């Protein structure tokens, strides 16, 4: 179970899955986690092989499409358990779950049949490529384009910080197909100037440009360059103009909780390591853990972790119940990152000068939690959305759209 957290809504199936994920992570990922960290920034392929056999890429994919057909609570439990042992493996897994979301939610019958069973079986790894080098979180400002040409589209432009860029076999790429217009709104259900396409990694003109980051070693967040890439019209995901909705839905409904779960795993490992440190480091005839100040810091770390878990699992539960819950999803991501960052500062106090020593697990974990800040929206972006939930403009919710589409598929 997540740290001391009572989750009355967890079913026996959730509990079994969580145990399975914990056992799997301990037996299969602990070794690769150490190796990935020691190697520095790179793209790890061994973990891809290890995770491919789990079926967890298809955790949220409908059983009719070859997936496990599980819920967001199950996904959060698995990602937290994996990330507790290997934050990079958690990041790799979450990025592929995120990459499958556009196809599962908006893909044509043909795209779904062709890709989802392959993804669920771990034979095809997807990414989602939205982030523009200049416009970042202002998705509607993106500059990469697609223009129609004899039954195909020709894509040009660059996407940065793409999770699994160098690992994926297919990329769900959002590009501009029209000038920004009156139909562009940051709201579900409105067509606009952006469109989503499935781009095969081996298509001529697709290049992955290495752009290493310092953290989550083994996880690729490289640049995807598209130079006159020809894509069949059948590879369009959804309708022309659906790109903004697809990007937002993926980020709000899938990304917020994915990253919250990875943050929870990192946070939990940080608390495990720090507790071990203070109970074994000698001081004044006893151990650091005997000192009231140290106990207070550990209590605060536990408080941060429990608060973040409550925020994440509450949001997951609401999402699974089909409730309007966008603010809870923003809050889950915001709280998971901020609480983890606050615990990172406390761990720094408790490790003293050793907090920055290369090879100390805490040094790695403090870098890894920092990297959770930006994906699926920075803290400021989540605060912007939370302010809107109070002060307006009040927007229709992406979670509602997600629930409606799920109900339609189930019917």
Ligand X SMILES: Cc1cc2nc3c(=O)[nH]c(=O)nc-3n(C[C@H](O)[C@H](O)[C@H](O)COP(=O)(O)OP(=O)(O)OC[C@H]3O[C@@H](n4cnc5c(N)ncnc54)[C@H](O)[C@@H]3O)c2cc1C
For ligand X, which residue has the nearest CB? 136
Cα 75 from chain centroid? 11
Q: How far is the CB of 92 from ligand X (least distance, A)?
A: 11
Q: How far is the CB of 307 from ligand X (least distance, A)?
A: 22
In 137-294, where do the E strands start and end? 145-149, 152-163, 170-176, 194-200, 206-209, 221-232, 236-237, 282-283, 286-287
Q: How far is the CB of 221 from ligand X (least distance, A)?
A: 5
Q: How far is the CB of 399 from ligand X (least distance, A)?
A: 19
What DSSP designation does 408 have? H
Nearer to ligand X, 46 or 380 (CB): 380
d(CA 111, CA 378): 31
Nearer to ligand X, 234 or 384 (CB): 384
Going from the C-alpha of 98 to that of each of 127, 208, 223, 232, the distances in angstroms are 7, 19, 17, 23
Q: How far is the CB of 375 from ligand X (least distance, A)?
A: 4
Nearer to ligand X, 22 or 251 (CB): 251
Q: How far is the CB of 139 from ligand X (least distance, A)?
A: 8
Nearer to ligand X, 10 or 104 (CB): 104
Q: How far is the CB of 310 from ligand X (least distance, A)?
A: 24
Nearer to ligand X, 130 or 362 (CB): 130
Residues 6 or more apart in contact with residue 404 via CB below 8 angstroms: none
From the CB of residue 390, how many other CB atoms can be counted at a distance below 10 Å?
8
Nearer to ligand X, 250 or 318 (CB): 250
Nearer to ligand X, 138 or 409 (CB): 138
Binding site for ligand X (CB under 6 A): 95, 128-131, 136-138, 159, 161-163, 221, 371, 374-375, 377-378, 380, 384
Q: Which structure tokens are listed for 232?
A: 């069949």
Residue that has been written with the tokens 């000038």 in this structure: 179
d(CA 202, CA 206): 7
Alpha helices in 42-194 (DSSP H): 46-52, 72-85, 87-106, 109-120
């Amino acid at each position: 179970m997540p740290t001391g957290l009572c989750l009355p809504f967890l079913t026996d199936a959730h509990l079994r899955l969580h145990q399975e994920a914990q056992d799997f992570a301990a037996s299969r990922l602990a070794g690769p986690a150490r190796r990935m960290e020691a190697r520095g920034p790179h793209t790890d392929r061994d973990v891809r092989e290890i995770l491919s056999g789990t079926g967890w890429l298809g955790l949220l994919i409908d059983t009719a499409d070859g997936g496990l057909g599980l819920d967001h609570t199950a996904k959060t439990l698995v990602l937290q358990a994996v990330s507790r042992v290997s934050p990079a493996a958690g990041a790799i897994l979450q990025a592929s779950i995120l990459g499958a979301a556009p196809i599962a939610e908006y893909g044509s019958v043909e795209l779904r049949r062709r890709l989802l069973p392959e993804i669920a079986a771990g034979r095809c790894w997807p990414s989602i490529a939205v982030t523009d080098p200049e416009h970042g979180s202002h998705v509607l400002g993106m500059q990469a384009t697609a223009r129609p040409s004899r039954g195909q589209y020709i894509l040009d432009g660059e996407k940065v910080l793409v999770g699994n860029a160098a690992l994926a076999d297919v990329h769900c790429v959002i590009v501009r197909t029209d000038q920004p217009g009156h139909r562009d709104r940051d709201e579900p259900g409105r067509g606009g100037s952006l469109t989503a396409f499935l781009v095969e990694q081996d298509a001529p003109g697709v290049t992955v440009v290495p752009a290493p980051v310092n953290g989550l070693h083994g996880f690729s967040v490289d640049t995807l360059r598209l130079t006159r890439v020809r894509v069949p019209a059948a590879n369009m995901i959804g309708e022309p103009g659906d790109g903004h909705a697809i990007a937002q839905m993926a980020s709000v409904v899938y990304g917020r909780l994915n990253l919250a779960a990875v943050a929870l795993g990192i946070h939990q490992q940080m608390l495990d390591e720090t507790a071990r440190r203070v109970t074994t480091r000698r001081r004044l005839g006893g151990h650091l853990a005997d000192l009231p100040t140290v106990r207070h810091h550990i209590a605060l770390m536990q408080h941060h972790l429990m608060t973040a878990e409550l925020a994440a699992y509450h949001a997951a539960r609401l999402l699974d119940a089909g409730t309007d819950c966008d603010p809870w999803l923003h809050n889950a991501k915001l709280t998971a990152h901020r609480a983890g960052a606050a615990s990172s500062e406390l761990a720094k106090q408790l490790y003293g000068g050793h907090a920055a020593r290369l090879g100390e697990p805490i040094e790695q974990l403090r870098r890894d939690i920092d990297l959770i800040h930006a994906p699926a929206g920075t803290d400021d972006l989540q605060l912007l959305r939370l302010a809107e939930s109070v002060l307006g403009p009040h927007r229709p919710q992406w979670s509602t759209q997600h629930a409606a589409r799920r109900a339609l598929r189930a019917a």
